[in-house]
Structure formats: C-alpha cells, structure tokens
Amino acid sequence: MENQRLMLWLAFTCVLFLLYQAWVQDHRPAAAPSEPIPTESPQPPPSELPAVPSAPTSAATPAPAAPAPATGQGQRIHVRTDVLDVDIDTLGASLVRADLLRYPVHKGEAQLVRLLDDTPATSFVIKSGVRAVGGGPEPTHEALYTADASEYTLADDQDTLTVTLSWEQAGLLARTIYTFKRGSYAIQLNREIANATGSTWAGASYIQLQRRHVPVKRSRTSIDAYSFTGPVFANGHKYEKFKIEDLAKEPIKETVKGGWLASIQHHFLGAVVPDPGHTTAYSSTVQGDVYTLTAIDTEPASIENGQQATFSDELFVGPKLQKQLKATADRLVLTVDYGLLTPIAKMLFWLLQQLHNLTGNWGWAIVLVTVLIKAAFYKLSETSGRSMAKMRKLQPRMKALQERYRDDRQELSRKMMDLYKSEGANPMAGCLPILVQMPVFFALYWVLIESVEMRQAPFILWITDLSSRDPYFILPLLMGVTMFAQQKLNPAPPDPVQAKVMMLMPVIFTGLFAFFPAGLVLYWFVNNLLSILQQWRINTVVERTA
C-alpha cells in the first residue's frame, strides 16, 4: 500500500538526514597550524583612518588546570555579578575571562561554561581602544590602565555595577567604563577621553574580538557539534556565517551604519555591537587558526583642548537568550539558527514559551504543544482515520481479489481501484497527516537543539535534560511500543514482504530516536498516544455503522 511505502521513505529520509549531519561533521576541514599574530599593523598616513594593532597570540599549548596568570605588566580585575564572573586585564582594559554562573558544562557538576578565556589553547578575548588620528598619545588595547580596586561585586541591593579603568599620557586622560546589569549578559562599554594636551586631539574608537578556532568533536552523547561554531557578521541587511578557511580567502571588509560582529558556538556567543548611530568599518583577519574581527568607528571625534568626548558601544557575553538578544541589537537573535525551517521553528518556540510560562516546565509545554498540534489537524487526521478504518474492513475482500487475480497484476489493480471507489476508501489518506507532521517534527528538533532556554531543562522522573538523549532509553522504547500499537489499528499491507518490513518499522524508529533529544521523543510519543486513541475511536464508530 502506498502509505506504508511512504512510511518507509520517511524512515529512509530520517536516516539520510542523520548520516548527512554526521558526514558534515566528520569531513569538516582541519584548522591550519597556528601561527603568532603580528604585534602591530603598519601605520598608515595621517590622513587615513588609523589601523588597529593586533594583539599577539602564542601558539596553541595544552590548557592548564587553573587560569593563566596575567601577562606583561597587566593585572586582573575580578568582577562578579549574579550571572557573570569576569576578569578584566588592566593591560588594554580587555575582557579576558567570562564564566557563566548559571550554566554548568554538565548538569549537576560544578564546572561552569567559560566563554571568554585567554588561555592560549582556547583563547577568546574582547579588546577595545581609541586610535589617534594625526598622531599623539592613544589609549589602545596595548595601553596599561589602572583601577581603584581589584575586586568588584554586584551587591544584593544593586541593579548595576560600574567598573572604571583609567589611563593618562601627555595630558590625555582615558577612562574605559564597563557597566554590568543584574540578570543581563549585555555589557555597556564607554570610553571617555578628556583632552588636556594643549592642542586639538582626534581619535577613532574600535572593538576587537579575537578567538582561536577549536573545532567541536562529534560524539553520541553530545549535540554541540551539530551547531555552527565560528565568526558571524550582520551588516543591517544580511547575516552571514563564515568558515575559517573561507574567511581567510575573503575577509570581511565592509563599512555600514549599524551592524555587529560575533563569535558563536552551541548555545553561547560573544558579540560586539558598535554604536548604531555611527558608521563603522568592519574587517577581519585570519592567521593560522586564530581569527580577529574588528569594528572601528569611521567618524573620529575631534576634541578641543579642555574638552572631552565619550564613545559608547555594547558587548554581549553569554547564552543565546532570545529576549536579551533582541533587546541588545537588531537581528542578533539570528545567532539562534533554526535552519531552513526557521519560520515554523520560531512559531513553535513562541508557543512553547507561552506554555512554559503557564506550566513552569518545558516538558509539559511540549506535551501541550503536541495536543494543540493534534487538535489543529484533527479534521485532517479524522478523515484519514476513517479511510484507514474502511481499508481495514475491506481487507478480507482485498485478499480475495489478490487470490483471484494473482496472475494478472493489471486487472488486480483495476479491481482494487473499483473497490476503493465503491466503498469510499482512499489508500493514500494516511499519507497527508504524516507529511504535515514532518516539517513540525524537524522544526521542533532544531528548537530543542538550538534554544538555550531548554538546555538541561528537566521534565519528570529520569528525564533531567530534554535537549539531550534519554540516558536509559526508556522513552524511545515506549515510543516504539506505541508505534507498534498504532500499526495494529491500521490495515496491514496485502504484500507479505511489505507486511514484514512494516513490522520492523517500530524497531527502526526506536533505534533512530534513541539518540534524539528526549524532548523530541516525548513529542512523538505523545503524538502516537493521541493517534492511537483517535484511531481506536474511529475504528469503533466505523464498525458499529457497518
């Protein structure tokens, strides 16, 4: 029967989908050997926009167990809020470490996700400064700052925490001010310049994001490798992801008003968002496995003697919480990548979020979404179910026709079609509900994979993380049982070979779903239960009216 064949093709499609993802990860090009980055770019003529010096990065070495000590003459300023634990290096007033206090690497363990880190093997830092236009002193990320304290903590009665670092040379005073807010991963970055040099001073502010690319290894227990890791750029009109080898061949070189740069990984990102009211020159460099993304203001400030100016930008260092991303920058939420099914995935996520607000549990939200989806397509499923029930009743007559015309396939097909027509049965009726569900299924897959809101989210009993596989494979087994029960309520294929293959389908799907996120298996399990109840009711009604 055609609908059974369709089920086989859908199962085959699922297998191909998973095999393709595995192939992409296994054949990702290896990163080029790391090389040190030049300490400074050549200085252009004074009439041109000043180039940003590149910070040195040493070759990769095994990461030590403890954070690396401060380099050069810099000292560490430790900052702790309710969501971030940060180190700021006084050498350049740079962000060199950021631990996410609400996100352990593994559920139930003490080790936290470390997003920023200046350990050479996994270096990821954010630097900033102001370049002098036309010469003179300049507070770049190579300047040595001072701070009033070495420890800053957001008190229980505080909503904001301000950390100020100062630098002075030849009458030019610079202050780099970080402002942290309670519950927020967005960090306000202000650079104040006061001119007491005795003459006019001009400067252009910049932010530089530098990271060593470390490919994520794929494993059965981790889904991190199935999400993009690397640099991204938005110019206000488009959003682009870059492979390191492509970025090396065609670097970013664009000047626009607004936009932002970021380095993303599964569930987390570090982003720099320049002042959207200024025109910014974006660029990138790649050396070995280290890439540097730079945003420099193309509208230098001219500061008269005795005057001052402020450069304001914003950083985002943390999880891809969609509400905070939307509030930080236009289109920053695109770093939550749902792929080709983004429109459906966004609607699903919105619905899940509303139900989570109601239930307080992402698992029950998935259950309720499944019920709502089933209700939305109830009439479609009912029509299909009635047709399948009629097909089930016609099985004895179909077998008789098969015996009678076993040697005449053409006549058998004609007689079968006449039978379907006279009884109002449609062998293809079972296909449409399955086809409708597949986009929802794959969209929900990406919602569970990509949405950090569901990372390590518990359900009930042994399901402690809906975004990873069931640790005991109980839910996939239950799903396989419901799939088997569902088959028993539908007509068996007349072809004995097809019938045997269909009996294997629950086993095949159980194996496939064993390594899917538990939330996705929960959706399919609940959907099967609802389908069983619906088909049982329809079969009962059809048999009574026979």
What pLDDT score does 43 carry? 34
Q: When comparing pLDDT for 414 and 63, which is higher?
A: 414
List Cα–Cα distances, 403 to 376, 406, 427, 496, in angstroms: 41, 5, 20, 13
Question: Residue 327: is its pLDDT beyond 90?
Answer: yes
Q: When comparing pLDDT for 179 and 535, which is higher?
A: 179
Nearest residue to 80 via CA among 112, 108, 105, 109? 112
Is 248 a member of any domain? Answer: yes
Q: Which helix (H) or strand (E) holds 516?
A: none
**pLDDT-derived band at 431, boundaries 50, 70, 90:** low
Question: Residue 25: is its pLDDT beyond 50?
Answer: no
Question: Distance (Å, rounded) from C-alpha 260 to C-alpha 267?
Answer: 18
Is 44 a member of any domain? Answer: no
pTM of the shown model: 0.78
What pLDDT score does 545 carry? 60
Is 57 a member of any domain? Answer: no
What pLDDT score does 268 carry? 95
Judge if 130 and 166 occupy the same domain: yes
pLDDT, average across residues 10-22: 47
Judge if 188 and 323 occupy the same domain: yes
DSSP SS3 for 176: strand
Count of domains in the chain?
Answer: 2
Judge if 173 and 135 occupy the same domain: yes
Residues 268, 100 contacting (CB under 8 angstroms): yes
481, two tokens:
């049982």
Q: When comparing pLDDT for 435 and 57, which is higher?
A: 435
Is 447 a member of any domain? Answer: yes
> Across-strand partners of 207?
128, 295
What's the DSSP call for residue 394?
T
What's the DSSP call for residue 406?
T
Judge if 268 and 380 occupy the same domain: no
**What spatial distance separates the first Cα and last Cα of the chain, rounded to whole Å?**
23
**CB atoms closer than 10 angstroms to residue 58:** 14
Strand 76-80 versus strand 151-153 pairing type: parallel
Judge if 88 and 234 occupy the same domain: yes
Judge if 177 and 108 occupy the same domain: yes
Amino acid at 359: T
What pLDDT score does 496 carry? 61
Q: Which helix (H) or strand (E) holds 486?
A: helix 474-489
Nearest residue to 262 via CA among 188, 321, 208? 208
What pLDDT score does 228 carry? 86
Please give the backbone phi and psi of residue 276, each rounded to the nearest 5 degrees, phi first.
Answer: -65, -15
Question: Distance (Å, rounded) from C-alpha 197 to C-alpha 191?
Answer: 18
pLDDT, average across residues 302-315: 95
Question: Distance (Å, rounded) from C-alpha 350 to C-alpha 243?
Answer: 30
Judge if 349 and 330 occupy the same domain: no
Domain's final residue, options 292, 310, 334? 334
Across the chain, what does the average pLDDT equal?
A: 81
Residues 104, 112 contacting (CB under 8 angstroms): yes
Question: Residue 312: is its pLDDT beyond 80?
Answer: yes
Question: Residue 351: is its pLDDT beyond 50?
Answer: yes
375, two tokens:
């209700």
Judge if 381 and 291 occupy the same domain: no
Residues 324, 453 contacting (CB under 8 angstroms): no
What pLDDT score does 3 carry? 41
What's the DSSP call for residue 30?
P
SS3 content of the chain, % helix, strand, coil (to 5): 40, 25, 35
What pLDDT score does 531 carry? 84
Is 291 a member of any domain? Answer: yes
List Cα–Cα distances, 92 to 175, 223, 315, 357, in angstroms: 11, 36, 16, 43
Judge if 328 and 352 occupy the same domain: no
Q: What is the pLDDT of residues 493-518, one digit of tens each?
A: 555 666 666 677 788 888 888 888 89
| Site of tokens 């990271």 | 211
Q: What is the pLDDT of residues 42-77, one digit of tens each?
A: 333 333 456 665 443 333 323 333 333 344 478 999
Amino acid at 333: V
What's the DSSP call for residue 342?
H
Domain's final residue, options 312, 334, 356? 334
Nearest residue to 182 via CA among 149, 201, 159? 159
What pLDDT score does 272 carry? 96
Q: When comparing pLDDT for 199 and 400, which is higher?
A: 199
Please give the backbone phi and psi of residue 368, each rounded to the nearest 5 degrees, phi first.
Answer: -65, -35
Q: Which helix (H) or strand (E) holds 395?
A: helix 395-404
Judge if 323 and 429 occupy the same domain: no
Residue 170's domain is classified under what CATH number?
Answer: 2.70.98.90
| Site of tokens 């379907």 | 420
**CB atoms closer than 10 angstroms to residue 208:** 25
Question: Distance (Å, rounded) from C-alpha 91 to C-alpha 379?
Answer: 67
Q: What domain range includes position 273?
A: 74-215+227-334
Domain's final residue, options 302, 334, 366? 334
Where would I find the H helices in 148-292?
244-249
Instruction: Specify the range with the lowest mean pLDDT, choosing from 109-118, 249-258, 315-324, 411-420.
Output: 411-420
What pLDDT score does 469 carry? 86
